[in-house]
Chain A
Amino acid sequence: MPLLRMRGITKRFPGVRALDGVDLEVEAGEVHCLLGQNGAGKSTLIKVLSGVHQPDEGEVRFGGEPVRLAGPTAAMRLGIATIYQELDLVDGLSVAENVFLGHERASYGFVRRREAARAAGELLARLGHPEIPPNRLVERLSPAGKQVVSMARALSHDARLIIMDEPSAALAHDEVANLFRLVRELTSAGVAVIYISHRLEEIREIGDRVTVLKDGRTVAVGLPAATTPTPEIVRLMTGRSVEYVFPPRRPRPAVPEAGGRDPEADGLGTEILRVEGLTVPGEFADVSFSVRAGEIVGLAGLVGSGRTEILETVYGLRRPSAGRVLLDGRPVRPGSAARAVRLGMGLAPEERKSQALLLEDSLADNITLAGLPRYSRLGWLDRRRALADAAEQIAALDVRPADARRPVKTLSGGNQQKAVLARWLINGRRLLLLDEPTRGVDVGARAELYALIRRLADAGLGVLLVSSEVPEVLGLADRVLVVREGRVIHQADARDLDEHRVLDMIMEGSLS
């Protein structure tokens, strides 16, 4: 009898079916790996299991009994502990206080501090970190130290099932070995671990069995982790039921070549962006590439591989320690986004809602935000002209509903993204930097966005695209840079790459 058995779990969100009848079985004492591309439903499944989301359909059995995971506390009482990717610790409390928060060792309301500190110390020692003082404030620990505290908390619950969501993402190599030692120790004591990672080499080393999710469905159950061949896993992850509709690339158009020194001379425009030896210590190193007019260049890589950081450094949000960025042949002053905007760059950031939009404000206000100097006369805003320009962009990009006065928060994800693009198009850009442009955008609207991005490139813009979804990068971009652990490990024409090969490079770093 498996320790955990999930049957037909379905979870719907407005407009999306995040889980569509997922099955999962985990035995006591095994490391069960959960694999799937971004958006496959892994996070939603974890949240159902940890009591954060309630499933719409399906059955969960734990230890043979049907259970209802009504909330985080209910899940923890059953012995299901979760270590999330973003750590949920309280900075103002000590290590020991964080470990036992919510289930303090107390008598009559008084915390037995010495006992708690001793118990926390033991847990930390078990985790291989006896050097972390239990009485130190958590805010004074490094990210890796915080991760260890988070683990100690999961251990403190005497959990029978521990879910680890990309636990190695914040860890250095030698610490990963330590993590594995701990996982083995837990499983030999009968604890089950659900291990989520994108790194296949880790899964091969630590995992017993693998369940693969794709588009909210289980496509493979209980594959042996050590022996299933990589192409098989990649095939399961990629074999697609939802078709992406990508616009056709230009068939070698005839744009006049003005001083182009690209030896390939494939008919694209002049070089717009040139990045040389760009380095931000700890994020990425020695990155060089170029983007030409009419070209879409895609950066493919895992979350945390340095893609977003490269984009942000090009835009001037981060200051590089070495290297330079040239726009139209002129060097861009490092570390100044205002300068980058003036020279003609525009960024559509990853977190659209928090980083790009003024959610409460109208569509028109959001679109004209970056062009305000154009509408101000002696300190007054020419609202009529701003509104007219916004309306023009709304029509051009087909934003729906086409109501310039509507608060932008009432728009769908795809239309919000169009609003962000419209903001830059309103005052003529040379280069667009797009970070996960289709995150939170449903399938139908995606095709529309793809077509729009291609149209912008055809009109002569350079586009630098970041996406976690390999098919998106391959389908949309002309040229692809594969990024792994802060380095560009491969560069090729998108037409010469396929999804399997890119996924393989991203996850294992092999260049076979």
Chain B
Amino acid sequence: MTTAEAARRDERVARVSPVRRVLVRPELGSVVGAIVVFAFFAAQSPVFWSVSGVSNWLDPASTLGIMAVAIALLMIGGEFDLSAGVLTGSTGLILVTLATRYGLDVWSAMAAGLVFALAVGFLNGLLVVRTRLPSFIVTLGTFLMLQGLNLGVTKLLTGTVQVGGLRQAPGYEGARQVFAASVPLAGGDFRVAIVWWLAVTALATWVLMRTRAGNWIFAVGGNEQAARAVGVPAARVKVGLFMTTAAAAWLVGTITALRFSSVQANAGIGQEFTFIIAAVIGGCLLTGGYGSAIGASIGALIFGMADKGIVFAGWDADWFTFFLGAMLLLATLTNSLVRRYAEEVRR
């Protein structure tokens, strides 16, 4: 009986070597990609790996990383969210508008933004769970609606396509210290957002690996029917994931608004796919049930390095997307090769 032999080979004789254990991690592709990109740009310009250079490319990586981690959780749970990018714009617009035009202090305006974001996330989740429409379509709908809302309301209120002047609002300085300060360290200028990014990554990893909620996320993404059959509240898990993504969008929107003191009405548009790409580089499958928060963070790191590295190397920034595409292919190819190898080991 071949199945019995396979079982014996797999479970009794072959102990898993540490090397193989590393190889089958979902993050592998992104780590390989990150090393390649780092080595490449470090060779192009010594500034790239100086302290100030590092602080420079960690900056874009941090805000992107927060989103990529949240999207990774959602994708492991088997869903997409295309409205997450534009929602970073919406929450920023709400914050600045309420604080500058309606006399709220910055903290209250932030709270209002959070409530709005959670409501959008809840709505996304509810629509997906109730209608069983693909989340790709549902969130494409909310994405377009938010995009229109951002522009329409901003124009209605200000007559322009941006809101600004947050710096004069009460409570600004305190909030900036928490969300958008920068810390000079050994010649570099490190943004506080990096700390938020690391914290979000650590929290997400902890949830995924160590909590009941984490099990449920893998279960609803990997085999929803089986998960339901053993009593996992699949609908609640999914709604929760959409709300988590929305909360991350609020965090990023707040960080960006406090940093620049103004927000464009089209902020965040076009970012939605970047988040997904970072998550996929980090080992998430489009089909759900597989992936890692750390991987998504490293995916964001690759973005940051390519974004600034091209500038350091003195090239035209137009080359950025070329790099991105190459990285996406390299990382996912590595992942799929390794997965196939792992499958063969099983046989």
Residues of chain A whose beta carbon lies under 8 Å from any beta carbon of chain B: 52, 72-73, 76, 88-93, 97, 101-104, 106, 109-111, 113, 129, 131-133, 136-137, 139-145, 153, 170-175, 281-282
**Most interface-central of A101, A131, A281 (chain B CB within 10 A):** A101
Which residues of chain A are within 8 angstroms of B132 by Cβ–Cβ distance? none
Which residues of chain B are within 8 angstroms of A129 by Cβ–Cβ distance? 11
Interface-side segment among B1-9, B156-164, B196-204: B1-9
Report if B298 contacts A (CB, 8 A): no
Report if B337 contacts A (CB, 8 A): no
Give chain B interface residues in 285-304, CB to chain A under 8 Å: 289-290
* Measured CA separation A101–B223 after assembly (Å): 12
| Interface SS, B side | helix
Which residues of chain A are within 8 angstroms of B232 by Cβ–Cβ distance? 101-102
Report if B133 contacts A (CB, 8 A): no
Q: Are B230 and A101 in contact (CB under 8 A)?
A: yes
Of A88, A111, A171, A172, the contact of B229 (CB 8 Å cutoff): A88
B243 CB to closest chain A CB, in angstroms?
Answer: 16
Q: Are B346 and A101 in contact (CB under 8 A)?
A: no
Which residues of chain B are within 8 angstroms of A92 by Cβ–Cβ distance? 76, 218, 221-222, 289-290
12 A-B pairs in the complex with CB atoms less than 8 angstroms apart: A88-B229, A90-B226, A102-B230, A103-B230, A103-B231, A136-B16, A141-B346, A142-B7, A142-B346, A144-B3, A144-B6, A174-B4
Give chain B interface residues in 1-39, CB to chain A under 8 Å: 1-4, 6-7, 10-12, 16, 24
Residues of chain B whose beta carbon lies under 8 Å from any beta carbon of chain A: 1-4, 6-7, 10-12, 16, 24, 76, 210-216, 218-219, 221-223, 225-232, 289-290, 342, 345-346
Q: Are A90 and B212 in contact (CB under 8 A)?
A: no
Q: Are A144 and B4 in contact (CB under 8 A)?
A: yes
Known contacts A142-B3, A172-B1; A76 and B290 CB within 8 A of each other: no
Which residues of chain A are within 8 angstroms of B342 by Cβ–Cβ distance? 140
* Measured CA separation A143–B87 after assembly (Å): 44
Nearest 10 pairs of A and B residues by beta carbon = A172-B1, A88-B226, A102-B230, A172-B4, A102-B231, A142-B7, A73-B231, A282-B2, A90-B222, A92-B289
* Measured CA separation A101–B225 after assembly (Å): 13
Known contacts A88-B225, A92-B221, A102-B227; A110 and B10 CB within 8 A of each other: no
Q: Are A101 and B215 in contact (CB under 8 A)?
A: yes
Q: Which residue of A lies closest to B209 (CB)?
A: A113
Q: Are A101 and B219 in contact (CB under 8 A)?
A: yes
A283 CB to closest chain B CB, in angstroms?
Answer: 9
B184 CB to closest chain A CB, in angstroms?
Answer: 38
Q: Which residue of A lies closest to B226 (CB)?
A: A88
Q: Are B212 and A142 in contact (CB under 8 A)?
A: no
Q: Which residue of B lies closest to A73 (CB)?
A: B231
A75 CB to closest chain B CB, in angstroms?
Answer: 10
Q: Which residue of B lies closest to A84 (CB)?
A: B229
Of A91, A102, A111, A144, the contact of B211 (CB 8 Å cutoff): A111
Which residues of chain A are within 8 angstroms of B12 by Cβ–Cβ distance? 131
A497 CB to closest chain B CB, in angstroms?
Answer: 29
B10 CB to closest chain A CB, in angstroms?
Answer: 6
Q: Are B215 and A97 in contact (CB under 8 A)?
A: yes
A420 CB to closest chain B CB, in angstroms?
Answer: 27
How many CB-defined contacts (below 8 Å) exist between A and B?
Answer: 113
Known contacts A172-B4, A173-B1; A141 and B231 CB within 8 A of each other: no
**Most interface-central of B24, B342, B346 (chain A CB within 10 A):** B346
Known contacts A72-B230, A88-B225, A175-B4; A109 and B212 CB within 8 A of each other: yes
* Measured CA separation A72–B233 after assembly (Å): 12
A155 CB to closest chain B CB, in angstroms?
Answer: 13
Q: Are B1 and A90 in contact (CB under 8 A)?
A: no
* Measured CA separation A110–B223 after assembly (Å): 22
Q: Are A76 and B230 in contact (CB under 8 A)?
A: yes
Which residues of chain A are within 8 angstroms of B228 by Cβ–Cβ distance? 72
Of A89, A103, A281, the contact of B223 (CB 8 Å cutoff): A89
Which residues of chain A are within 8 angstroms of B229 by Cβ–Cβ distance? 52, 72, 88
* Measured CA separation A234–B231 after assembly (Å): 39
B323 CB to closest chain A CB, in angstroms?
Answer: 30
Known contacts A88-B229, A90-B218, A106-B211; A132 and B4 CB within 8 A of each other: no
Which residues of chain A are within 8 angstroms of B290 by Cβ–Cβ distance? 91-92
A147 CB to closest chain B CB, in angstroms?
Answer: 9
Which residues of chain B are within 8 angstroms of A141 by Cβ–Cβ distance? 7, 10-11, 346
Which residues of chain A are within 8 angstroms of B345 by Cβ–Cβ distance? 140
Which residues of chain A are within 8 angstroms of B231 by Cβ–Cβ distance? 72-73, 76, 102-103
Q: Are B218 and A93 in contact (CB under 8 A)?
A: yes
A458 CB to closest chain B CB, in angstroms?
Answer: 42
Of A103, A106, A145, A174, the contact of B11 (CB 8 Å cutoff): A145
Q: Which residue of A lies closest to B229 (CB)?
A: A72
Known contacts A72-B228, A90-B222; A104 and B4 CB within 8 A of each other: no
B94 CB to closest chain A CB, in angstroms?
Answer: 31
Q: Which residue of A lies closest to B230 (CB)?
A: A102
* Measured CA separation A109–B215 after assembly (Å): 11
* Measured CA separation A91–B219 after assembly (Å): 8
**Most interface-central of B11, B16, B214, B345 (chain A CB within 10 A):** B11
Which residues of chain B are within 8 angstroms of A175 by Cβ–Cβ distance? 4
**Most interface-central of B3, B215, B219, B225 (chain A CB within 10 A):** B215
Which residues of chain B are within 8 angstroms of A282 by Cβ–Cβ distance? 1-3
**Most interface-central of B4, B210, B219, B230 (chain A CB within 10 A):** B230
Q: Are A145 and B4 in contact (CB under 8 A)?
A: no
Known contacts A93-B218, A142-B10; A170 and B210 CB within 8 A of each other: no
Q: Are A91 and B223 in contact (CB under 8 A)?
A: yes
Which residues of chain A are within 8 angstroms of B218 by Cβ–Cβ distance? 90, 92-93, 97
Known contacts A90-B289, A92-B218; A143 and B3 CB within 8 A of each other: yes
Q: Are B227 and A101 in contact (CB under 8 A)?
A: yes
Q: Which residue of A lies closest to B289 (CB)?
A: A92
* Measured CA separation A501–B227 after assembly (Å): 43
Q: Are B289 and A91 in contact (CB under 8 A)?
A: yes
Q: Are B223 and A88 in contact (CB under 8 A)?
A: yes
Which residues of chain B are within 8 angstroms of A73 by Cβ–Cβ distance? 230-231
